């Protein structure tokens, strides 16, 4: 095992932390309310395949978010298959999303400086 294999700080195969997953879910359903499986697909697409969420994790998180009043759901009839539960962001969920985005924007400057440091001192490219 080489040194990069020993680094535990960046594992592309790990699940996102809970707050990050909630943020991603809210980001997806903010624009278009949708159902759980579609949220999984959109998160994988948004993360360029880095976050592959298992359906059990997704539905547990969605239930938790409903209890926290971040989202609400309603059943939608589906003519070509079983009915689907569609998820919508609540006012509180939209506020959570807004606050999370503000934190990301604030931290972006610091992250950009870290990237500059990386390129300057290690001369490599991100792999």
Q: 13-122 belongs to which CATH class? A: mainly alpha
Mean pLDDT score, 61-78:
95
| CA atoms of 30 and 9, how far apart (whole Å) | 30
Mean pLDDT score, 72-87:
91
Full-prediction pTM beyond 0.85?
Answer: no
pLDDT tens, position by position, 104-114: 999 998 999 99
Beta bridge partners of 84: 76
93 CB burial (10 A radius; 0-12, 13-18, 19+): buried
Nearest partner of 99 among 70, 73, 72, judged by Cα? 70
Residue 7 pLDDT > 50: no
Determine the pLDDT at residue 2. 43
Domain ranges of the chain: 13-122
Helix (H) or strand (E) holding 114: helix 91-122
Mean pLDDT score, 10-22:
65
């Amino acid at each position: 095992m080489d040194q990069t294999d020993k680094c535990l700080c960046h594992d592309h195969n790990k699940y996102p932390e809970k707050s990050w997953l909630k943020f991603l879910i809210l980001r997806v359903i903010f624009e278009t309310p949708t159902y759980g499986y579609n949220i999984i697909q959109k998160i994988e697409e948004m993360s360029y395949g880095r976050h592959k969420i298992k359906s059990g994790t997704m539905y547990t998180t969605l239930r938790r978010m409903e209890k926290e009043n971040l989202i609400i759901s309603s059943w939608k009839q589906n003519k070509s298959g079983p009915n689907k539960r569609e998820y919508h962001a609540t006012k509180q969920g939209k506020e959570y999303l807004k606050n999370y985005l503000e934190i990301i924007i604030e931290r972006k400057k610091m992250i950009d400086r870290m990237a500059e440091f990386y390129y300057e001192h290690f001369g490599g490219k991100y792999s």
